[in-house]
Structure 1
């Protein structure tokens, strides 16, 4: 009750004293409001809105005095509530907050970044307001300034913690940052400040957000991002840190140029090491990391150049390691191994070499194991691999002699609807009489 009475009194006093933003009464009111928000954020935020306090905040922010960090913190706390984000935008809080990004004061930057980040979280209206106020331009300039040693690392971190950690920059804001050349600057920062854990994490979060846009791939490809990420990955021992890097690698590896860069940088060896370390573990985090690493390996093989580089005429160590996944007892590795073969089999020369070296038998044994186990994803992957291997005319008769048609027919008789279409496609490719005498 006392806290509620104090809150009501503070709200009234703030309305009366807001014209003089330097007064002690204003600072006292802000302290009271922050204390009330810490005690009950939802109810206090509702009362702040009811009393019309938000409309006074632009004036308080524009003054830029000793109270400014507390005003920005007040907004950050209020904007944790989804129902308060639109009122914050409507009250005109975004423009003065964006202008505070030009400030050098550490605490102001931290609280301003938090305030903007919270207002923009899951809010298209908030992000549009930041866009209109030129927020992307200011942040881009700050990032470049740090790269040129005009800003301290801590200053930039305070901005990035709010804006990038909360994924404030989405849609057009991300596109603006890309067009302003932020990506090469961030990559350079990652290399220079790789020992700064906080800045490294912020860069990774920024990369993860920016890499979602297709327009970013070309800019990433023009940097040494592959080398920096692989170097950073090799240093990590914590699962969470590796996951952060994986979240950046996955969208980047969708680009064929970056695929090849990642292969050249040694990512494949890192992935194989992760698989070796986690394959026998039942820990949930290890199982997840095994899946991520093997899935990423398959993704790298979707690029023609990266695939051929790893195939190495069928004699490459990476190719041989991936083949060893097929007879594994781990379903995830069986799946990844079969998908990898399907990717290697996108080249006729590769197909002929693989059939001649007995890969068909490995796939048939894998399928035979899954007649009863019935893992549909593994079945689909193995059948896709067999279908691709059957494309070269010279392979068809060899695969028929190896008994592929018998296994396919066995599956058809087992009445498993999910794989019927895939089975028929494989059988059709296999018995296509073109070239079979």
Structure 2
């Protein structure tokens, strides 16, 4: 069937007949099994040939054909085996055509190209190979074209592709050396929440496990100023959350007093405290760890915001919650321990009833989680020494 349809597609003289064939291919291509068969039968190549034959045309029907065909190719890449065949170790015809889409003046092809790269970047081997072949340069050039009043969908797709490419640790290092973070920062001036959200996630992925990248970004006053604005985005909870997560990541992965000081100077500690006392467990843990690191390496920068936020009484409530997540309890104990070890009186001043919290920590030494129990014992020892 695929061979017959592609043969008809090549011979179709008019847009109406072309659209019928494309619709049939699209319906059949939703099947995972047929995705692979379509690729083996040369359907993506036939679609790509049709797209190039229509390049430069302004007729709405032709533009519609380009959109349907490019979307169909992206859809075929959702299958793992079909995607790998199209990639062809970076030399596949479809992959090579996708690179040209990124450089096309047609917004639809740019969008489909970015989505296709994101699909190709679903495994580490492909990501490493694509970085070697220079795909990041094409993506960054595309993003820069759209930064001012550009196509939000293209920017969103381009950042998704970059984020996927940054997942392998080796790629993070190479992308940092290539100055990718500096070029991505041009998107900081975007006022579109979907772009802001995806940009923050991409930057967070790039500092994951990368001390140098976290140190570089964590001391960037322009970046921090913009991130603070997004931490207070009233109309987009996703942007607020991602902005706070980036702040936590900068401290967690740099472990640098300079970064802690820079974040504190930018008034970012209060956002980490809000994140630490929120409802999302993953975000709570990220913030608690960041605050514990900050307390251990630069208590002077954070003790003011911690007092103002009355953080410790809130943490006490967290420890008392029988339904609280184990990791949250563990990291809350760790933060209190860091504060107690910091050599300041912040722990005692912030907890009006030290006896009460000690009694509760004693109860936690019998917690079903050995991690929580041992952390509680360590904290009791620390509080005993500090008192």
User: What TM-score, normalized to structure 2?
Assistant: 0.72
Please name the residue that 1:235 is paired with: 190
Please name the residue that 2:213 is paired with: 258
Cα shift at 1:134:
3.3
Tell whether the 8 Å contact from 1:217 to 1:252 is kept in structure 2 after alignment: yes
- Following the alignment from structure 2 to structure 1, what is the Cα–Cα distance between the partners of residues 166 and 130? 12
Aligned pairs for 1:114-153 (under 5 A) are 114-121=71-78, 123-132=79-88, 133-143=92-102, 146=103, 151-153=104-106
Distance 1:100 1:391, change over 3 A: farther
Tell whether the 8 Å contact from 2:201 to 2:242 is kept in structure 1 after alignment: no
The CA deviation string for residues 132-173 of structure 1, in whole angstroms up to 9 with x for no partner, is: 333223323553xx3xxxx424474264276347x3553344
Aligned pairs for 1:35-434 (under 5 A) are 53-60=1-8, 69-70=18-19, 71-72=21-22, 74-97=24-47, 103=53, 105=55, 107=62, 109-121=66-78, 123-132=79-88, 133-143=92-102, 146=103, 151-154=104-107, 156-157=109-110, 159-160=112-113, 163-164=116-117, 167-171=119-123, 172-194=125-147, 195-197=149-151, 198-222=153-177, 225-227=180-182, 229-238=184-193, 240-254=194-208, 255-263=210-218, 264=220, 266-278=222-234, 286-304=236-254, 307-312=256-261, 316-318=265-267, 321-322=270-271, 325=274, 338-347=288-297, 350-351=298-299, 364-374=312-322, 375-376=324-325, 378-389=328-339, 407-413=357-363, 417=367, 421-428=371-378, 431=381
The CA deviation string for residues 6-47 of structure 1, in whole angstroms up to 9 with x for no partner, is: xxxxxxxxxxxxxxxxxxxxxxxxxxxxxxxxxxxxxxxxxx
Cα shift at 1:301:
1.1
- Following the alignment from structure 1 to structure 2, what is the Cα–Cα distance between the partners of residues 316 and 192? 33
Secondary structure in structure 2 of the residue aligned to 1:130:
helix
Please name the residue that 1:32 is paired with: none
Distance 1:266 1:362, change over 3 A: same
Tell whether the 8 Å contact from 2:231 to 2:271 is kept in structure 1 after alignment: no
The CA deviation string for residues 340-396 of structure 1, in whole angstroms up to 9 with x for no partner, is: 32121353xx2588689986x95542333335445445533321113334567x67x
- Following the alignment from structure 2 to structure 1, what is the Cα–Cα distance between the partners of residues 273 and 156? 35
- Following the alignment from structure 2 to structure 1, what is the Cα–Cα distance between the partners of residues 215 and 14? 53
User: What TM-score, normalized to structure 1?
Assistant: 0.65
- Following the alignment from structure 1 to structure 2, what is the Cα–Cα distance between the partners of residues 203 and 158? 8
**Which blocks of at least 5 consecutive residues in structure 2 are unaligned?**
57-61
- Following the alignment from structure 1 to structure 2, what is the Cα–Cα distance between the partners of residues 331 and 398? 25
Tell whether the 8 Å contact from 1:112 to 1:159 is kept in structure 2 after alignment: no
Figure out how many residues of one structure are paired with residues of the other and give that number. 363
**Which blocks of at least 5 consecutive residues in structure 1 are unaligned?**
1-52, 279-284
